[in-house]
C-alpha cells in the first residue's frame, strides 16, 4: 500500500483530495518538480479507487520513441507495418477496468495527443491498422514536471487535451516549500535504510539535521532519499553525523545560519530574481523557526506585519504558508 509521508498541511490536503477523487473516474493531472512523488500520488489514487483490484499500467512518454509509443499505447493489427507479424493489444487494452499512468505527458508528440484525446472522448482505442475501434474503460492519470499550461501557450500541447486531463489537478509542492517535511522524511528514510542494511541507527545528530534543513533540495524527495541512504551506509555511530551527509551543492538561498556567522554569501544564480531569493530566505527562516512568525520576523530583522504581508502574497501565488 502506498504510504505518502508528510507533515506539511498543503500535502495533507492534496492527499485527502486524491483519496476523495479516487472514487470517481475523473482524469487526474499530477504536476510537480522531479522527485516530488508524482508516481506515488498516482498509485495512491489507483489504490483508493474501486479499480484497485484491476491493472495499474504505467508508461513513460519521455522514454519511448514516438512510433513505438503509439504501438505501445494503442496496439496494432497484424500487417499494420513491416514487422507486425502478429497483432498486439496496447497498454490501454491491458489497463481495461483499471488505471493507466501516462508519465511525463508533456513529452507526447502532438499527433499522438490527438489519438489520446479520442480515447478520452469516445472511450475506445484504435489499434494501428485496426478496422474497428475497441471499447475500453480506463481511468487516466497523467504526470508532468513541466507547466502544462505553459506548453499549451507555446503550442506544444493541445489545449483541448489539457482541459480533458486537468479535470482534477494535484500540484505537488517542492520539498523546500513543505514545512517540516525534511525532518519527517529524513527520519522515515533513516528507518527504512537502517532496516534494509541491518544497521542500528536511532536518528540524526543535530548538526547533520541542520545541514539537511539548510539544503534547498532541487531533486526533492528522491534526492533526500539518496542522501539519507548514503548517510546510513557510511554511518559509524548510532546516529547520523554531519560528515555522513553529502550534498550535491549547497543552496545559496537557504544559508541563513551560515550567513549569520558570515561564512557564506547568498548568491545569485541565472534565472533567479530578487523576489525568488527573498521568498526562499523567508520560507527557510520560517521553516527553521518551525512556523513561529514572531521568531522568524525577529531573526530576519523585519516587522511581523511585513512578514504577514509577504506570506499573504505567497498564498496568493498558491503556496500554503
Residues near ligand ATP (CB under 6 A) are: 4-6, 32, 34-40, 145, 185, 221-222, 225
Q: Name the segment binding Mg ion (CB under 5 A); options: 15-23, 32-40, 66-74, 194-202.
A: 32-40
Residue 310 binds what, of Mg ion, ligand ATP, none (CB under 5 to 8 Å, by partner type)? none
225 binds, among ligand ATP, Mg ion, none (CB under 5 to 8 A by kind): ligand ATP
Task: Give min distance, CB of 228 to ligand ATP, in A.
Answer: 11
Binding of Mg ion at residue 223 (CB under 5 A)?
no
Position closest to Mg ion via CB? 39
Answer for which of 2, 17, 39, 229 binds Mg ion (CB under 5 A) is 39
C-beta closer to ligand ATP: residue 6 or 216: 6
Give min distance, CB of 232 to ligand ATP, in A.
15
Residue nearest to ligand ATP as judged by C-beta position = 37
State the Cα–Cα distance between residues 137 and 119, nearest whole angstrom: 10
Per CB under 5 A, which region of 34-42, 90-98, 180-188, 273-281 contacts Mg ion?
34-42
Candidate segments 33-41, 165-173, 220-228, 286-294, binder of Mg ion by CB under 5 A: 33-41
Instruction: Please state the φ and ψ torsions of residue 235, each to the nearest 5 degrees.
Output: -60, 135
**Binding-site partner at residue 222 among Mg ion, ligand ATP, none, CB < 5 to 8 Å by type:** ligand ATP
Closest separation between CB of residue 42 and Mg ion, Å? 8
Nearer to ligand ATP, 32 or 90 (CB): 32
Residues 6+ apart with CB under 8 A from 227: 212, 245, 246, 247
Nearer to ligand ATP, 48 or 71 (CB): 48
Q: Which stretch binds Mg ion (CB under 5 A): 35-43, 51-59, 146-154, 218-226?
A: 35-43
Q: Which residue ranges make up the site for Mg ion (CB under 5 A)?
A: 39
Amino acid at each position: 500500500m502506498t504510504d505518502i509521508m508528510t507533515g506539511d498541511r498543503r500535502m495533507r490536503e492534496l492527499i485527502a483530495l486524491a483519496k476523495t477523487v479516487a472514487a470517481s473516474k475523473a482524469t487526474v493531472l499530477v504536476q510537480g518538480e522531479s522527485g516530488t512523488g508524482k508516481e506515488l500520488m498516482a498509485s495512491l489514487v489507483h489504490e483508493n479507487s474501486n479499480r484497485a483490484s484491476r491493472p495499474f499500467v504505467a508508461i513513460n512518454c519521455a522514454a519511448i520513441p514516438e512510433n513505438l509509443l503509439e504501438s505501445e499505447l494503442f496496439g496494432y493489427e497484424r500487417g499494420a507495418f513491416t514487422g507486425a507479424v502478429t497483432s498486439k493489444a496496447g497498454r490501454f487494452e491491458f489497463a481495461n477496468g483499471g488505471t493507466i499512468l501516462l508519465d511525463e505527458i508533456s513529452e507526447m508528440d502532438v499527433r499522438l495527443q490527438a489519438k489520446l484525446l479520442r480515447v478520452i472522448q469516445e472511450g475506445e482505442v484504435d489499434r494501428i491498422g485496426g478496422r474497428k475501434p475497441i471499447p475500453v474503460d480506463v481511468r487516466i492519470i497523467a504526470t508532468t514536471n513541466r507547466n502544462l499550461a505553459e506548453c499549451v501557450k507555446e503550442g506544444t500541447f493541445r489545449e483541448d487535451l489539457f482541459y480533458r486531463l486537468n479535470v482534477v489537478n494535484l500540484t505537488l509542492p517542492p520539498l523546500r516549500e513543505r514545512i517540516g517535511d525534511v525532518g519527517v522524511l529524513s527520519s522515515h528514510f533513516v528507518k527504512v535504510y537502517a532496516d534494509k542494511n541491518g544497521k542500528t541507527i536511532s536518528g540524526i545528530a543535530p548538526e547533520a539535521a541542520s545541514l539537511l534543513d539548510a539544503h534547498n533540495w532541487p531533486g526533492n524527495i528522491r534526492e533526500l532519499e539518496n542522501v539519507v541512504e548514503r548517510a546510513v551506509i557510511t554511518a559509524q555511530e548510532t546516529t547520523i553525523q554531519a560528515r555522513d551527509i553529502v550534498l550535491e551543492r549547497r543552496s545559496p538561498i537557504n544559508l541563513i545560519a551560515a550567513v549569520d556567522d558570515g561564512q557564506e554569501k547568498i548568491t545569485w544564480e541565472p534565472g533567479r530574481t530578487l523576489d525568488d531569493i527573498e521568498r526562499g530566505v523567508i520560507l527557510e527562516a520560517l521553516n527553521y523557526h518551525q512556523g513561529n512568525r514572531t521568531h522568524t520576523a525577529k531573526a530576519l530583522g523585519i516587522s511581523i506585519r511585513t512578514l504577514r504581508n509577504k506570506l499573504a502574497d505567497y498564498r496568493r501565488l498558491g503556496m500554503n504558508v
